[in-house]
Structure 1
Amino acid sequence: MFGFLNLNKPFDWTSHDCVAKTRKLLRIKRIGHAGTLDPAATGVLPIAIGKATRLLQFLPTDKAYKATIRLGVQTTTDDLQGEVISQKSATELDLATVKTALMQFQGKIEQIPPNYSAIQVDGKRLYDLARKGEKIEAPVRNVEVFNIDILDWRIGEFPELDVSIACGGGTYIRAIARDLGAVLETGGTLAALQRTVSSGFNLTDSFNFTELEAELEAGFQPIAADVPLQQLSEITLPETEARRWCQGQKISVDSQVSEILRVYNEQRLFLGIGELNEELLIPRMVLETGND
């Protein structure tokens, strides 16, 4: 068995917990995931099964979230899982002011990741350094936020803002919550997060573990390995050339461009990933023998 599972990650589970549970349910050791989610976040966690783990690096990186930002509160982790650093009433805030402030978080922006994150500095995870109380200077990252839409606004001593965010890979929504609070001079932290899109998978098509167990009883079939790779162009090879390509040989093609491609044979069997370098199709990842 190989392919993908569109998992709806439950609250308070790590991404590693989800991989371990999936291994147990499917009785397959070779399981991986794309796009780590914090334990407090829920939503889409793409799971690769069997040989599909080799395709994780080729998945699209764009993501989308629904988030709740609480203003007037700042924490050590930039979400409600951390200790409160500062807290002050923000009853004077109005939605118009917040809308104006949000505009500077769209487009290509610089972002400092939360100290409690999986990013490595000098070979060590930031969250490990933070837990030891070490002073950390997280590296600035260039990320892209395509769109932020306001879904709801709740006034109060610590007003809350619900937003939908579409962004590129590597964007921290916790950092947006923190930095919005800094711009508004109130402090801000992430109160809730749900990922609705990740690596070509949507929340509406996802399975939770209860649903997955029911599917296994009925005869579960994973999502075909090439389905989330539709952002890549494709090429179909004649049978003789397909067999040669699957054996690791470079194939001459009529092209003057360079790109990464999905490779198929004439029976539409997905063979793997190739790199088109001008007039040569080079095997990057072969998943099938091409003899089926």
Structure 2
Amino acid sequence: MASRRRGRLLDGVLLLDKPAGLSSNHALQRARRALDARKAGHTGTLDPFATGLLVCCFGRATKLSGLLLEADKAYEATLQLGVETDSGDLTGEPVATATDFTITPEQVYAILPQFTGAIQQIPPMYSALKRDGKPLYEYARQGIELERPPRDVTIHQLEVLALSPTEIRIFVRCSKGTYIRTLAQDIGRALGCYAHLTALRRTQVGPFSIDHAVELETLQNHSHGDSLLLALDSLPAELQLDNLRKEAL
């Protein structure tokens, strides 16, 4: 006799505020267990050190995952000046440093236009992109550097939120496939002082905002977690399953 599949048949979308220290998949699986849901998926990976909006889809809503992977996203990021790391963030090892530099607000604002609009990025070695069936980060951990072709991305909006002599906080709204770690490195190089990310928070995915997200701990302690899900018929028109079926015809 076939074994019964675990979990409930549950349909809906959860806007989860992913905590730092968890991979996107680990956060998704904790949410799935908290809801006792059978089928779940997310719509775009966040690095473990990053926080913010992780759109989790359950049941029939998993059909939306591909569409939301293509959606524009928004982030708030903190760049530490003076050091570039091999990963582009605080988890990596320093590979270049600048000990004597002075960056003015005028310099920062002057270089921002070159990173706005349609630009090209070279994906970081510490990424999940694959070469010969193997993620680039596995090569990187072995100390192997591979040539990566540049990718076309679009930075729709790039604003400075705060400035100090050694740190810049920025807001970025961008197309899919944009690496904020790479953007941080490129900004640091353009300023002549190097940079890496010390904080990254995703604030928007397509039509969904972090303002309506729930923390993982809140979900796990909620006696009626189902009530935190967005029902399929409450989603924006472009994400209604019936409309997607009509477009496919």
What's the TM-score, normalizing by structure 1? 0.77
Instruction: Determine whether 1:274 maps to 2:246.
Output: yes
SS at match of 1:220: helix
- The answer as to whether partners of 1:65 and 1:165 remain within 8 angstroms in 2 is yes
Q: Which residue of 2 aligns with 1:256?
A: none
Aligned-pair identity (%): 36
- Offset, 1:20: 1.5
Q: Which residue of 2 aligns with 1:201?
A: 208
Letter in 1 for 2:133: G
- Offset, 1:226: 5.1
Letter in 2 for 1:68: T
Q: Which residue of 1 aligns with 2:182?
A: 175
Alpha-carbon distance between aligned partners in 1 of 2:191 and 2:89, rounded to the nearest angstrom:
17
| Corresponding residue to 2:51 among 23, 42, 46 | 42
Q: Which residue of 2 aligns with 1:98?
A: 108
- Offset, 1:263: 2.2
User: Against the structure 1 CA distance between its residues 40 and 90, is the aligned structure 2 distance closer, same or farther, given a 3 Å change threshold?
Assistant: farther
- The answer as to whether partners of 2:73 and 2:173 remain within 8 angstroms in 1 is yes
User: Against the structure 1 CA distance between its residues 102 and 227, is the aligned structure 2 distance closer, same or farther, given a 3 Å change threshold?
Assistant: farther
| Corresponding residue to 2:96 among 76, 83, 86 | 86
Letter in 2 for 1:32: G
Larger Rg computed on CA atoms = 1
Moved more, 169-178 or 82-91: 82-91
Alpha-carbon distance between aligned partners in 1 of 2:100 and 2:81, rounded to the nearest angstrom:
7
| Corresponding residue to 1:27 among 17, 36, 40 | 36
1:118-169 residue CA offsets vs partner (Å, 9 max, x unmatched): 11223221111111222212231100001111111011xxx10011111111
Unpaired segments ≥5 residues, structure 2: 1-9
- Offset, 1:275: 2.7
- The answer as to whether partners of 2:34 and 2:225 remain within 8 angstroms in 1 is no
- The answer as to whether partners of 1:46 and 1:198 remain within 8 angstroms in 2 is yes
Q: Which has the higher helix share?
A: 2
Unpaired segments ≥5 residues, structure 1: 235-261, 265-271, 277-281, 283-292
Instruction: Give matches, 1:82-161, under 5 Å.
Output: 82-155=92-165, 159-161=166-168
User: Against the structure 1 CA distance between its residues 85 and 219, is the aligned structure 2 distance closer, same or farther, given a 3 Å change threshold?
Assistant: closer
Pairs aligned (count): 239
Tell me how large the CA RMSD over aligned residues is. Answer: 1.9
